[in-house]
Amino acid sequence: MKNNFPALLLLVAAMASCRKDGNPPVSTPSQTFTLQQHPAEKAYPGIQGRVIGIQHGSDSIFVEKKGGGYVWMGDILLDEQHFNAMKKSGTITTDRTFTEDYTRLWPSGQVFYALDPNFTATEQGFINDAIADYQNNTPIRFTARTNQSNYIYIQRGATGTGLYSTSIGMAGGQQIINLEGGMFGPGEIEHEMGHAIGFYHEQCRTDRDVWINVNYNYIYPNTQSNIYQYQTYDEIGSSGWQIDQFDFNSIMLYSSYDLVQPGTNNYPMTLTNGQPFNSQRNALSAGDIATVFYMYQPVYVRATLNYTDDENDQTYQHSEGTVSVNFYSDAAGTVPATLTYPLELNYAVVTTSDCSGTMGVENTFTIIPAGNPGTVTIGNFSMTYTYDSQMDPLTCYSQTTGVAPGVGYWQIY
């Protein structure tokens, strides 16, 4: 039977930051933040567990075994299943300050949650304030769970459990935000909610050395798991990609006073002039808000095959041309989009060289600059088939470039 060259191949690419704004020190136009000394969010802060290193390419991922789980990045508590999956794959998403794995975003920004009944009225008010800040300023919508399978359980943790989330982004099934009673206000809740929707810590940006100094020798206790919390994604073996500048107002940023040895002024992080800085847990910053919009209210992209040659008869079929993309602000693909920030567009080249349909896939990406991108050519396509008198294929070759899923855009057809 004669083959039909597909109009467009849908390709699945593997995962993806915090893109932030701000100059040190910056307040958003609509609110003034109180920068204070306060402890960084930690899981089981009073316990020093066993540090475990997991090989990740030529580098290592460090977790700390404590509290019945595995603490990663200070306040992410992995259960046995997720830890084993990390060990097996060695591919936890670590190349951005927000996740670029589109499968870990909550569909349409709808986050289902259930609430521990043991919170006090005051604590319940803090949770309501945190939810309101997200809902008033971002596309995220928190909805009380009825029977949804994917949801967050916000639990009132016992003394010593600290503050933590069990996932970066949507994990699938139940995931936990743990809030130790008496140890949190709305800002700490928003920090952990940030992890649950896909945020990493701000100090992990690959461009952070332009803005701050990180002194690894001053981290206390000086364990590999604590050091790991301050390393950039380049330093742990992954390339970074940020949009906008380091955000000193981010609710995801540690202060200079976290993990400091008691009785010293040896700060793990300072400004580039050596002065310490505080952080804030008041509300989402302008950079935090922009990041949520980038993740959950993306632009739309449509790929088009532009034919430069098209031949077809009984025994021979050949087509070739270029593959271009256009960006839109609406799902119908009628209003051209202006990109507020640069966009990393994932795509893949798929090749078949035999008639069995065996495919080779090469994934890559291109950076689309901010502004009006217009039409962008991302690659080529080519197809040649020959047939016998029964119209069965004798030789088969095809190569095409297709848009792959990612964060910051949705594909339309």
**Active site residue ranges:** 192
- Interatomic CA distance for residues 379 and 401, integer angstroms: 6
- Interatomic CA distance for residues 242 and 408, integer angstroms: 13
Is 195 marked as a binding-site residue? yes
Is 38 marked as a binding-site residue? no
Each as own residue / partner, the long-range contacts of residues 179-186 (CB below 8 Å, 24 or more positions apart, any chain) are 179/119, 179/123, 179/154, 179/155, 180/156, 181/119, 181/120, 181/123, 181/156, 181/157, 184/123, 184/126, 185/126, 185/281, 186/126, 186/127, 186/129, 186/130, 186/133, 186/281, 186/282, 186/283
Q: Which residues of 203-216 are buried (b: 16+ CB within 10 A; e: fewer)?
A: bbbbebeebbbbee
- Interatomic CA distance for residues 4 and 317, integer angstroms: 9
Q: Which position has the token pair 């004798």?
A: 394
DSSP-derived secondary structure for 73-126: TTTEEE-HHHHHHHHHH-----SSSB---GGGSPGGGEEEEEE-TT--HHHHHH
Residue 216 Ramachandran class (φ > 0 left, ψ -120 to 50 alpha, else beta): alpha
Residue 112 Ramachandran class (φ > 0 left, ψ -120 to 50 alpha, else beta): beta
Q: Which position has the token pair 């119908």?
A: 332
Where is the binding site for Zn(2+), in residues?
191, 195, 201
Where is the binding site, in residues?
191, 195, 201
